[in-house]
Structure 1
Amino acid sequence: MSGNLGLVLRRLRDQGPRSRARLAAELGLTRSAVSALVGELEERGLVRAAGVERGHVGRPGTSVELDGHAVCGIGAEINVNHVSTIALDLGGNVIAEHRAGLDANKLAVEEVLDRLVALIARTEADVRSAGAETVGVAVGVAGLLDRTRDMLTVGPNLGWRDVPVGAELRGRLGAAYPVLVDNEGNLAAMAEALPGDPARQDVLVIFGEVGVGGGIVADGRLLRGRQGYAGEFGHMIVQPGGRRCGCGRVGCWETVVGLRALLDAAADPDDPVRDPALGLDDRLAEINRRADLGDTRTLAALDQVGGWVGIGAGILANAINPGAVVLSGYFAEVGERMRPAIEEQLTAGVLAPQAGGTRVELSTLGFTAAVRGGAALALEAVFDDPTLVGRRTEAVSEGVR
């Protein structure tokens, strides 16, 4: 039963409102079965009536749509310069969002985790205030993550090694709901692969902040690799003899396309835009402001970094031929200025004509991509088994007791 409930719920998420008759035809179920399933989902507060369906062959019927305003997933992120959280309801609406700046390199691992847990607790309190319940938390972390143990084996930019992030967070939160851990690039890729959008089912997502990573989505599924380490694009060697990377090697792609590379090229060491105390959004806004004013050094820096982005994207596109390269994180904030250089090098680097049909797109999620992907991952449990959410009558009875 829970399997068919999940089928109905996913169909409404991916394809939008539809009548019971249409759901029955699309899912290969009887109308009576679908009516019973929709009734149960309504009792659990996961769907609601959405008016009369029009424009479909056959007799008009009352359509139903995803509701789930009382169910939230929380996404969280640990990065070099910040910890952040977001709570999304089942329909993808933002219920709460928080971010706190820090310098992870100067703090003990325990303090960074404590700050994240405090932010999660604050977000969960906001969810309760909105009359909703949290069904899970998924945390993105920058670095190589062994998902079988929820162990961050190497976090070059964080300076972490062999940190049992999952166990540490679960111990601190003591929550009844699941606490998941994943690579932040994977979570960003999940957020960009929009359910129901055929143009986003085969994409390469490049997520940049201090470090650079991302994810590969093929036929709507995230490719994790044998041990879950896929997507560490930032550590491809593209410039032998170049700058030393945080991972200890020389010439990684990250060293020529990461945020540090852009700031080094765009400004002198004493320039305010290089000051870590200045918020990341403010620093990038200043870069864009200078570019808009025609500052030659800024424009040259964006062109230089954009060229390297295109070179790396071309290497990856030759291997997997994605429908789109989606630029996320800091790349999305300054990407319009980089786009010409990216597209030029992508086209030059891909063997297939017209870059094999691969287009360059800018994420609209920016720095929230990873936490949004985390919230979506946390909510997947409900789509897998909607019975995890109690019937409203059960909830009332629990409250009376």
Structure 2
Amino acid sequence: MLDTTANHNQDSLRELIRLITFSQGEFSLILAVGNYGVLRTQIIEQLQEQCSIPIRELVLEQSVKTLYTTIVEELGPEQPEALMVSGIDSVSCIEEVLTATNQIREEFRNFRFPLVLWVTDKLLQMLIRSVPDFHSWSSCVEFVISSGQLIQFIEQTTDQVFAKMVASRETEFLQSCTLNLNKDSGSYVELQSARQDLEKRGVALAPELEASLEFVLGRVADNCQEESRQHYERSLALWKQTDNLERRGHVLFCLGLWWAGYALWHQAEKEQGCQKAKVYFQESVEVLEQANRPELAAKFINFWGEALQHQSNWEELEKVANKALALHQTYSDPFRMAQAYGFLAEVALAKSAWTKAQEYSKQALFLQSTASAKIVNPSPEEEVFLDWNKSFAKGWYLFSLGRALLGAMRSQKHVG
């Protein structure tokens, strides 16, 4: 398959060079069809190396409204020997851009050079359907990607998602946009296409890669929807067939997040949702400890504590909070340590241990404020985290301290 693909692409490349060469000094439209960024990059590099004619490149922004005007503004009075345009498949208002292109298609004859326009199969069909007049001017050259390259693309994309989750703070790894995999992103579209292309070729993914892909698709889907949970559950079932405990731990954590959100949005089933969230968070921490990744267990353990707090399970929360404290001290994370003290303050409040509740709340506030002050010139990601920590965590610690002070005051009045 690899040799066949390589031979096909080499023939297509020669045809593309021939079309560019024979169109010197006049306008011609050449559609280069390739569904994947990695393939386009590879072909463009080969084209620039093998074609004797200099080819100017233009990458369209997502916000462009017209193709012709954008090219004119980019070139000015210049008439290059050839122009290659990519990125049109990522344009936000693609229907409007194509309609405008068809309406002023005669203006393109002002260009005295061949225009190579990179399109996907999907966009090619849109051109045929929506702007048949403009499409009728074109010559079409197709490039294909091998099954091995598709598998490698899925591996690299899923590996990047897991790596970003490991490297990010809590408020970051909950956002699909941080992973560049929201449903409008090119990476997501290519990931779906890669899976479909492999299925059409009868190529099955290895269980680990299938599990990774299901996990990533779950991350991209709306975490409030059943689709997301179903992807996670399929991923978990596949991970259980492998020895990769670390990634299994990540999937368990995301299932916990899903059920925590479910409990929040479905108050009638809150108890069930909280219990499922608690079980998944607990399993996530335990599996990561089995994987000898205690630093990741430290990252997720506070979510287990939150689920127990929502359940008012004070006895178990006390154990988990103390376990979390030990982990956060080992891996030196004052923000997470502050949250663990916040849990202990909640336990003390439930026991009417007002003095202890005050001590734990004050310790949480001290750690939170001291750690925040040490972050000078925060990055945009750090600013998001600090804002979240200040508005949610600090407010919680202050509220706990207020409850402890009020409880102590009432207790003293009662004794008096």
Q: Which category of TM-score, normalised to the shorter sequence, fits these structures?
A: under 0.3
Could you state the TM-score of these two structures normalised by the residue count of structure 1? 0.25
Structure with more helix by fraction: 2
Could you state the TM-score of these two structures normalised by the residue count of structure 2? 0.24
Structure with more strand by fraction: 1
Task: Return the index of the structure with the highest Cα Rg.
Answer: 2
Higher RCO by CA contacts (8 Å cutoff, separation 6 or greater)? 1
